[in-house]
Structure 1
Amino acid sequence: MLEERDPPPDPAGCRSLDELAAALRSLKAWAGDPSYDTITRRVNAGFAPAGRGTVVDCFRDGRRRINPELVVAVVASLHDDDVYLARWRQAIRVTLAEREAAANVRVLAGLPSDANSFVGREPHLASLERAAGVCVITGMAGVGKTQLAVHAGHRRTGETKLFVDLRGFHPDESQPPAEPGAVLDGFLRALGVPARQIPHDLNARSALFRDQVAGRQALVILDNAADEEQVRPLLTPDALTLVTSRRDLSGLGPATRIDLDVFSSREASELLSGATPSEGDRAAVERVAQRCGYLPLALRVVAGQMAATPGWSVADHADRLDERHRNQRIDDGVQLALQLSEQGLPERRRILLRRLAGHPGQDLDVYAAAALLDAELDETEEHLRRLTAEHLIQQPVPGRFVLHDLVRAYAADRAADEERPADRQAALTRLFDLFLYAASAAMDALHPAEKHRRPELEPHAVRAPDLSDPKAALHWLDTERATLVAICLHAARNGWPSYAVRLAATIYTYLDNGGYPADAIAVHSEARHAAARSGDLAGEANALVNLAVVHWQLGRHPEALEQLTEALALFRRLGDGRGQARALGNLGVVHNVFGNHEASAAHHAQALDQFAEIGDRVGEANTLTNLGDVYLRMGRPSDAADHHRRALALFRDLSHRGGEATALTNLGDADTQLGNHAAALDSYDKAVAIFGELGERYGQTCALNGRGEALSAAGRSEEALTTFTVALGTARLIDDPSEQARAHAGLAALHEAAGDTEAAARHRPPYPLDAVVDVPPT
């Protein structure tokens, strides 16, 4: 009789790339542990997946990205079963979605508003007054960990303060624990570090964060932490860091520790007495506190209800709690308090509370709430004010509203039980309309010359803020960035594909200029998949180009080449001239990186003809300067200079400052090769100034390196040394290896010419891991 074989390992439940790799190793062992060479032969013979990576890479821990097709091919080589492969595809999709969502986080450059009703906790506040280094505040959900940390933070003065909700225990699976790298990105931006100076590597971001905090009086609150691994990269010895969590986080090592319990009878009485007169009825106050389990969140909800019903005595509230407890047999204090509070709300306010729980983002403003409720702003503001007063929602900063995790979970359950799916769907559709049309208006204000490149929207009335002023538009985009990304992901995965496709395309330039590659990859990847599933070939092709640009910027050139080639085929199938031109131009850029200059020039020339034919002057100008760069690499500086001058004239005519600075930099490069050093230096200086106004450090670095080369060629060695040193410092700050190498080469050549071989050697590979050079103002 044959022995029954165990089933292969199930990949369901994997939530990280390391967990996927572990499941794959288990499958390899289950399949008889074939060698990696054997698996590679099977993959190459039967599946031949496209893209980057090797078979061995799929089994390794510590990967920051994977090739999904290759992983599926490896699985198929070990157990070729359609149902099993489908489970792996779903597991990979979920894992990548987790990573994308985890990178979506909002940080505050300051603290949330302090609670007006804060009471008690005197011993804990005293401990926090004396604390230094790391302080861990632990306790059950709803016990008041966040309020204690925030209240203690507000009592400290003269400090740099940062706050983030790490979402360690969010009830919505689409809001997983925040990725430490994304938190550091937010912290660094809040501290004034330009986007281009923020490195991609987690360790480098941690180091830069420690450098930025050094010498400051700083307070960092890491709220709602999932585990030690999430927290460690965010710690710095020069700040008091308050960490709140439902877990003890004992692995963090030496730290001040506060284990927060429910309120004492005295503290509960003090909180409830602040909501309604209770003199002479201490027994009723104690009954309310007991029924709430002395849990601060439940007590605050009931206190809000007391304040909203001035005709009721404390005994009335106690009797109602007792009655509800007997009839419903509800033992959980929070559940009981929330149910009673919600049932006492007017119907429209109850609907709003439930719909707030369905909002995909972390917080929202009155416009978003009005869209969910389908109400005017005045009515919505009143509902939000009353819900805040009754402690059913929170307002951490003026104008932004959030739900506590427990309230969100309760309201979501009530919505699922008591609202028609069609009504909830209509509410989210109005919300998505708001963000799509507001984002379009904001981008029109910021980049009017590129309006024709964004999706054209049908006229539609939405209640949205006035975003016609560029400063207001940028502020709105910065404030709502996390929500825009969350909406893209939610829409793509839950039946609104066209919203995901159009919104991702609308905010493409904002994410690109702002230096948000993780967000860009997330939204464009989801837009691509959503478009493919719905048969939207144009949307899929545009998303592929947008995704390719991000991959090119991150140095992932093979992925960019593959995506652009696929996009070009789709655009040709559709007969889309503008799309073809854009794909061709970007293919020219990627081929130039690979050193395929003839192919690059041919692609750019085709793109230039297409852009000129359809009258896309922005595309024409971009392609002219890109083609000029290729000609320069081909040893044709005169042709390069001619193209850059034509591009410069177009950019100036379009008032496109970023394009103007890029064309000036490239013109400087051409003039340097032609020996026109004075003209080159004039172009570089103008470019550096414009890039400085725009906060564009990458462009500044390129222009500075070019300036150093022009000065060196002109025999002005001391000035060249200074310029290359500044360029090296900025290239290190933005973590750009190619511009670092360019600056090193310039410095090495200058030192060699001066006879200082030792100094020259320091600027030849492998470069020493010395400290970042101080960068003087430019």
Structure 2
Amino acid sequence: MTPPAGGPRPRPRHRKRDRLSALVPRSLSETVTAVIVLGSACGGAILKEMAANAVLSRVPTWLLFVTAPLLVAGGWAWQRHRRERPPRSPAVPRHLPPRAEPFVGRDAEVAAVAARARERGLVAVRGPAGVGTSAVAVAAGWELAPDIAGQHYADLRGQDRDAPEDARSVVERVLRTLGRPIAAAGDSEVAAQEVLAALEGTGTVLLLDNVERWEQVSWLPRHVPGAFVMVAGDLDTGPDETLPGEVSVVQIGPLTPAAGERLLRAHVTAGLLETDPAATARLAELFLRRPAIITGIARWLAGNPRVPIAALLKSLEEGPRDQGLQTLLAGQLRRVRPQPRRLLALLARTPLAELGRDGAAALLGAHERDVERCMEELSRHGLVERVREARVRVVEAARAIVPPPGDWEAAWRRLAHRFAELADYHAERLPGEDARAWFGLEDKALLQILRARWPGSGASAGPLWRIADALEVWFLLEQRHKERREAATALAAAARAVGDTGAQATAELRLCLVALALGEPRLAQEHLDGATRLQGAGGIESWPAQIHLARAATLLTAGDEFAAVEASLVRYGQALAGGDATGQAIRWIDMAVLRMRRGQVCAAEHRGPEADRLYVDAQGMLVRALAVAREAADLSAEAHARELLAVVHWYLGRAREAGEGWEEAVRLHRAAGDGVGEARCQVQQAAALTAERRGEAARLLRSALAKLPPTGVSTALARLRLAEAEPRNARAHRDKGLAALAPWDGIAEPLQIAEIRRRLMKPAPAEES
């Protein structure tokens, strides 16, 4: 569901006063967990590990609990909505495109692909552009799964015309197509297991089309029993790389001249080719080898029925051999009306490789009905191709023959405004499935717009800020920190270009939070310093609330500077807007976190009664936070408060209350669309189980790993626990656990990280034997 082009617009969220606070995590417990544990889990899990006498038995409590067991689950703009979030449902699969009609000269290849798929599982349908590789793969897919309910299809061409999508983006696209957790995209092996779980025994087919490089799909499982996986495209390999031997390859080459002539005859008027048999034979020998060229020739002949075939042949022979399609399309372009021609020029100029009908309407400044007619005309002449739903891509050969548009800057502003409206609209509706589907389709387009030069000096760049806000909400929800950094970096560059210091400060603050989430405290401090400098000469009292929160988080990464952290939290509370119930709930959570940290220090110093009093104080604050979060109808804040309460109960020896609390926190995280928060609670639950229940613990941990990012403390702890639960795979789990701590490589890591690393590097006696 998208806002109509002429309908009401969503409330803009780019006012300068709000820009710095937009989309910044509000809770210290959220932020610091992202800081210390890389958006994973938590000191609480480590403490339960200790209490269960499973791991880390020698680590002092005060060193382990670096913060509350909370993760950045959403942004400020998303979390401030006061409504119940729907649970996430599986994405609707994308079905195979229609079979190419007519289909000539490829029956043997289609039969070979289908047979290999039945025998081997993963089949690579390989061939250069224009020879019909995709058509062969699609036809084989229909033969293997004639019912659309058994089809999954993903076109892997990205929005960047100059570079193919990287492997991580491809993994995300495939998982989204199959309706699997996107969090698994960070670990290729886990992602492959998700593909296996989605397809095994279903009799369905998965076709990944337009694959440029083998490395994009090399992570796929080689065999999926009871299902079929095909990849189609160039499938280029590196200089010293070949396709693995276990992958069955069907090479698609050019058509034979006879097959090419039959295909051309199927497109043109009967008898047209008989007027000059010699010219027809030579045309077939030289040019009727690729379906793309054949289709272009058929269009030319249909538009020029009285021109001799020999004239066409001469024109093609005189031009460069590899530019025949350009020659044909240039003839088609002369037949196009002015408005579609202008749209083609604008589409060819935009850095986005494909656009939907609404985006094209904004670019052209016309009604969608007119744009649909333009797109249909361009498609009929072969100048654009239809992709997915109502989207088009300019044919590469057409770009070279289209003159540059004269009104590009105004068109680009219209397009950016429209995408900003759509991004606003869908960000307001996250984590709803419709909004997830839209962002999953358009997030790379939004990034491309944000990176592009904003035209014209003095023009308002508000649409860019709104796009940046929406991307921060989306990428934070998906825990895609790499893309968060890309969006914030692009925002910083755009803000510098137009001289907007407020937007620059927002970008610096987001970069600070990303650095904290990725275990880069020094870089985080640099970005925080940059954000504070950009606030001007007003001093610390003029800082927005979120800078105080980020400062508290950054301080906490460097040690137990409780007084300075508490001062920042006090200022955070003072800077909150009046009537902000959710902000007040977060403030109570923050203060509870600080009490819990102090309690751990007291426990480490053998001051047990004082530690218990601090834990009881934290419990009271969390109960208050829970009540305010419910009043604000903020599921995310409620989930975090409930999770922290479970940790406090564990510290106080109330195992039953802790278990019930984690169960409720799992439910709330799931309702809020926070898969990582849910997974973190599962790691905590598994850590609390006794050795006799290792099978149950392993199931919980595997479920958690499917949703956790590839790095972080929760991931490392889950792998450490799995090494105990599954001794046969212990070494592999320990290696992956060490890889999960990679963000701390080469930096001064906290002592609890060092201890986890030590335990992962030291196998148990059973493993040594």
TM-score if structure 2 supplies the norm length? 0.69
Alignment of 1:283-302 (within 5 A): 283=275, 292=287, 294-302=289-297
SS at match of 2:242: helix
Alignment of 1:349-428 (within 5 A): 349-404=340-395, 406-407=396-397, 410-411=398-399, 413-415=400-402, 417-420=403-406, 423-428=407-412
Q: Deviations over 1:628-649 (max 9, x none)?
A: 2222121122332233233323
SS at match of 2:544: helix
For residues 577 and 116 of structure 1, the distance between their equivalents in structure 2, rounded to whole angstroms, comes to 69
2:760 to 756, 766, 778: 766
Structure 2 residue 408 is matched with structure 1 residue 429: no
2:574 to 596, 606, 609: 609
For residues 139 and 499 of structure 1, the distance between their equivalents in structure 2, rounded to whole angstroms, comes to 41
1:191 to 173, 178, 199: 178
Q: Deviations over 1:690-716 (max 9, x none)?
A: 22233423222343455678x78xxxx
Structure 2 residue 437 is matched with structure 1 residue 475: yes
For residues 380 and 418 of structure 1, the distance between their equivalents in structure 2, rounded to whole angstroms, comes to 19
Structure 2 residue 458 is matched with structure 1 residue 486: no
Structure 2 residue 179 is matched with structure 1 residue 179: no
Q: 1:124 to 1:707 in 2, by over 3 A?
A: closer
Q: Deviations over 1:717-774 (max 9, x none)?
A: 6999787555533443314642356678999999xxxxxxxxxxx999227999xxxx
For residues 491 and 132 of structure 2, the distance between their equivalents in structure 1, rounded to whole angstroms, comes to 39
Q: CA deviation at 1:581?
A: 1.5
Match of 2:388, as an amino acid?
A: V
Structure 2 residue 208 is matched with structure 1 residue 244: no
Q: Deviations over 1:579-611 (max 9, x none)?
A: 631022123234334442513333222212211
Cα RMSD after superposing both structures: 4.1
For residues 538 and 285 of structure 2, the distance between their equivalents in structure 1, rounded to whole angstroms, comes to 68
Structure 2 residue 134 is matched with structure 1 residue 125: no
SS at match of 1:143: coil
Q: 1:270 to 1:108 in 2, by over 3 A?
A: farther
Q: Give ranges in structure 2 of 5+ residues lacking alignment.
A: 1-90, 600-613, 726-755, 765-769
Asked if structure 2 preserves the Cα contact closer than 8 Å seen for 1:707 and 1:723, the reply is no
Q: Deviations over 1:200-251 (max 9, x none)?
A: 3456545665666555656454544444444433463335433421858871
For residues 432 and 486 of structure 1, the distance between their equivalents in structure 2, rounded to whole angstroms, comes to 10
Q: Which residue of 1 aligns with 2:259?
A: 267
Match of 1:442, as an amino acid?
A: H
Q: CA deviation at 1:339?
A: 0.6
Q: Which residue of 2 aligns with 1:503?
A: 467
For residues 580 and 424 of structure 1, the distance between their equivalents in structure 2, rounded to whole angstroms, comes to 38
Q: CA deviation at 1:340?
A: 0.8
For residues 360 and 532 of structure 1, the distance between their equivalents in structure 2, rounded to whole angstroms, comes to 21
RCO greater where, 1 or 2, for CA within 8 Å and sep 6 or more? 2
Q: 1:606 to 1:402 in 2, by over 3 A?
A: same
Q: CA deviation at 1:358?
A: 2.7
Asked if structure 2 preserves the Cα contact closer than 8 Å seen for 1:531 and 1:539, the reply is yes
Q: Which residue of 1 aligns with 2:553?
A: 589
Structure 2 residue 698 is matched with structure 1 residue 732: no
Q: 1:586 to 1:212 in 2, by over 3 A?
A: farther
For residues 264 and 678 of structure 1, the distance between their equivalents in structure 2, rounded to whole angstroms, comes to 74
For residues 335 and 137 of structure 1, the distance between their equivalents in structure 2, rounded to whole angstroms, comes to 27
Structure 2 residue 136 is matched with structure 1 residue 148: yes
For residues 707 and 150 of structure 1, the distance between their equivalents in structure 2, rounded to whole angstroms, comes to 45
**Is 343-352 or 666-675 further displaced after alignment?**
666-675
SS at match of 1:111: coil
For residues 549 and 670 of structure 2, the distance between their equivalents in structure 1, rounded to whole angstroms, comes to 27
Match of 1:297, as an amino acid?
A: A
Match of 1:439, as an amino acid?
A: A
Structure 2 residue 647 is matched with structure 1 residue 669: yes
For residues 370 and 332 of structure 2, the distance between their equivalents in structure 1, rounded to whole angstroms, comes to 20
SS at match of 2:354: coil
**Is 596-605 or 324-333 further displaced after alignment?**
324-333
Asked if structure 1 preserves the Cα contact closer than 8 Å seen for 2:362 and 2:411, the reply is yes
1:549 to 485, 489, 513: 513
2:331 to 340, 347, 359: 340
Asked if structure 2 preserves the Cα contact closer than 8 Å seen for 1:291 and 1:333, the reply is no
Q: Which residue of 2 aligns with 1:163?
A: 154
SS at match of 1:766: helix
Q: CA deviation at 1:667?
A: 2.4
Q: Which residue of 1 aligns with 2:69?
A: none
Give percent identity, aligned residues only. Answer: 22
Q: 1:474 to 1:275 in 2, by over 3 A?
A: same
Q: Which residue of 1 aligns with 2:565?
A: 600
Q: 1:289 to 1:128 in 2, by over 3 A?
A: same
Q: CA deviation at 1:259?
A: 4.4
Q: Which residue of 1 aligns with 2:662?
A: 684
Asked if structure 2 preserves the Cα contact closer than 8 Å seen for 1:138 and 1:248, the reply is no
Q: CA deviation at 1:618?
A: 3.5
Asked if structure 1 preserves the Cα contact closer than 8 Å seen for 2:622 and 2:641, the reply is yes
Alignment of 1:503-542 (within 5 A): 503-542=467-506
Asked if structure 1 preserves the Cα contact closer than 8 Å seen for 2:154 and 2:177, the reply is no
Q: CA deviation at 1:360?
A: 2.6
For residues 191 and 678 of structure 1, the distance between their equivalents in structure 2, rounded to whole angstroms, comes to 38
For residues 723 and 232 of structure 2, the distance between their equivalents in structure 1, rounded to whole angstroms, comes to 47
Q: Which residue of 2 aligns with 1:29?
A: none
For residues 596 and 559 of structure 2, the distance between their equivalents in structure 1, rounded to whole angstroms, comes to 12
Q: Give ranges in structure 1 of 5+ residues lacking alignment.
A: 1-105, 448-469, 751-761, 771-778
Asked if structure 2 preserves the Cα contact closer than 8 Å seen for 1:584 and 1:604, the reply is yes
Asked if structure 1 preserves the Cα contact closer than 8 Å seen for 2:443 and 2:471, the reply is no
Q: CA deviation at 1:658?
A: 1.5
For residues 573 and 418 of structure 2, the distance between their equivalents in structure 1, rounded to whole angstroms, comes to 36
